[in-house]
Each structure stands twice: as structure tokens, then as C-alpha cells.
Amino acid sequence: MSEIEVRHLSKTFTQKDLKVDALSDININIEKGDIYGIIGMSGAGKSTLVRCLNYLERPTDGQVIVRGQEMGALSEKELRQARMKIAMIFQSFNLLQQKNAVENISFPLRIQGTPKKEAKARAKELLRTVGLSDKAKSYPSQLSGGQQQRVAIARALACDPDILLCDEATSALDPQTTDQILDLIKEINESLHLTIVIITHQMSVIQKICNRVAIIENGHLVEEGRVEDIFNHPKSRAARELIFREVHGDPPTLQSPIDEITEGTKIRIVFTANSAFEPVVSNMILKFGQPVNILRANTRNVGGVAKGDMILQLPVDRETRLQMEDYLKERGLEVEEVTT
């Protein structure tokens, strides 16, 4: 049984005579212990989707089944109880400015009726978990953005949830702080066995800690699968745009000088640390005596594994090109033709 199952989910917003289809026929399965990424550009519908998972937004059609419970079949009281096991953190932290770190973390426990002393002890324990033991009496205004997000994470963990939803939780943070928060989320996933769903528009976030990913474009699910598989062989244009834009610095339209190259065939090769010891491209050029143009190259951490990729322009001659592709594949590299 999946931890979260989404079946044929659609969401339409209606305002006066205007209808907007935010989501259309979404089907995903999230297993227990997954760090599952949902990625798309602004307006793709990803935040609407995550809010449907805990029924903060009610789908227009379809089902959301969480740990065997169909959320749409629950009463309001049962929904509130179910949501206690589905915690959420946001880009804007949403801390109470008049309360210090311990009081912020204690707040959901106090609402549940937990005695003050017990709630305070739990809050201090969670501050240790997120590495802020010395900030117990600090107010949000006295904390950095990264520290505020750590408090928000501790508060989300206060009621021992089974699922943690992260809606653009690192978008307001600088790259170094983002990495630290992602490392913390990964540690929480491993130590507490939480199922985590991450909403983001940054492919680097997905590649760093997620094991599976769904790519949303204009309210539609265009690709879903293991992060490594999609990085190696993106099938949809949306996936290629997200990967190329972030890895190679292209704008989302993928318009770049390489798109204007018409001679020869463009291929993308992907290699890991294990396949990077031999200077494969240099040796290939020497072997075939034909020039190869390296159009772009970069490295990336994908699920804890160093991955590199290049886009090469191969010779026009078909036989030579096929031999070169076979040469690369024999040396353990992933090879696919780049089409734009």
C-alpha cells in the first residue's frame, strides 16, 4: 500500500465566469520513506497539488488516499485528525513573531492539550534535532532565514507526523543555507522514517535529496520516475528544460547558440565518477581522427552520486557518428540524441 496515492485528480478554480484548470488528471504514488519531489515552473500547479494532498484544497475530481484513508470521504473532524499526521513547512516560515523558538515549537502541542512542561521539554528536544539548542529563547527577528526555517521544521515535527510536506521551503534561502536545510531534511527522513514531499522549481533541490520526482507543466503530469533515470534520459520537453536550464544555465525556452547549429548530430552524454577516470572524449577523437565539438559540460550531485554531462556535436557522417556513440556506450556512458 502506497503512503500517498493520487488518482485522476483535477482541480478547477472558478471566479465569476472565468474557469482555470489548475490540475488535470494527475496520477502519482508516493511510497513510505520516499523523498518525493514535485517540480515545475511558476504557475504549473505544483503548490495546488501539494495542498490537495492534505485537503487544504479540495480536488474538483479524483481521489487522494493517504495511508489507506480516502481524504474526500472523511468528515471535517476526521480530516483535522488526519492532518495532524501530515505536517507542512513553507517558504515564508510562518513563525509567530511574538513567541520565542521554544514557544513556537510548543504551540501545536499546546493546542492539542499537551501540558506546558511536557510541551516545552519536547520543543527543546526538537531544537537539538535541528541544531539550535542555543536559540531556545530567541525570537524570529533575532534569527537568520535558515535558523527560522529550522524552527519551522522543528515545529512541524512536534506532533510526530508521518508525512512532511515542504512547499518551496528553501526558495527564500541562499545556496549555502539551502544545502544545509536539505541536509537536515535528509537526516530527518532517515532518522525518523518520514515520508517527505518537496515542492520546488529548482532541479538542484530534486537532484540533491529526492529519490523520485513528478514534473508538472500547465497542470498536467508530463513525466514521473526515479530522479536518476530522468536526469540520465529526460523524455519530456519540460524535463529537458528544467535540467538544461539549471545544469547549463540556459533560459527556460532552451534558446541558445547550440540550437542554431545544424551540421552534425548533437548528443548528450552522462557519466558518473566511476566512468570519469578515462578521458573518453579525447580518446574517441584520437581513435576516429574526427573533430568533436564540446558545446556544454557540467557536473551535478544526483542523489549523492557525482554526475557529469556534456553536449557534443558529432561529425555529419552517419557511420562515424554511430561508431562514436557505440564507443561511448561501451565505456559505460549514457548517450542520447539532443533534439530541440
Residue 261 CA to residue 245 CA, distance in Å, equals 18
Q: Which domain holds residue 262?
A: 256-337
pLDDT tens digit sequence for 89-122: 988 888 999 999 999 999 999 988 899 999 999 9
Q: Are 30 and 178 contained in the same domain?
A: yes
pLDDT tens digit sequence for 212-254: 999 999 999 999 999 988 888 888 888 888 877 655 454 433 3
Q: Are 144 and 277 contained in the same domain?
A: no
Instruction: Examine the pLDDT at 24 and tell me if it is beyond 70.
Output: yes
CA 254, 255, 256, 259 torsion-angle sign: positive
Q: Are 142 and 13 contained in the same domain?
A: yes
- Spell 164-191 as b/e; 16+ CB within 10 A means b: bbbbbbbebbeeebbbbbbebbbebbee
**247 is a domain residue:** no
Q: Is 43 left (phi over 0), alpha (psi -120 to 50) or beta?
A: left
Instruction: Examine the pLDDT at 31 and tell me if it is beyond 50.
Output: yes
**204 is a domain residue:** yes
**Tell me, what amino acid is at 264?**
G
Q: Are 106 and 15 contained in the same domain?
A: yes
**85 is a domain residue:** yes
Q: Are 267 and 225 contained in the same domain?
A: no
Instruction: Examine the pLDDT at 83 and tell me if it is beyond 60.
Output: yes
Residue 209 CA to residue 272 CA, distance in Å, equals 17
Domain final residue pick, 241, 265, 296:
241
Residue 244 CA to residue 77 CA, distance in Å, equals 46
The grid coordinates of residue 70 equal 480516502
**Tell me, what amino acid is at 177?**
T
Q: How confident is the model at residue 255 (pLDDT cuts 50, 70, 90)?
A: very low
**56 is a domain residue:** yes
Residue 35 CA to residue 226 CA, distance in Å, equals 11
Q: Are 266 and 137 contained in the same domain?
A: no
Number of domains in the chain: 2
Residue 34: name the closest of 178, 198, 224 by CA: 198
Residue 151: name the closest of 176, 129, 174 by CA: 129
Q: What's the chain's length in residues?
A: 340
Q: Are 151 and 211 contained in the same domain?
A: yes
Provide the 3-class DSSP secondary structure of residue 26.
Answer: strand
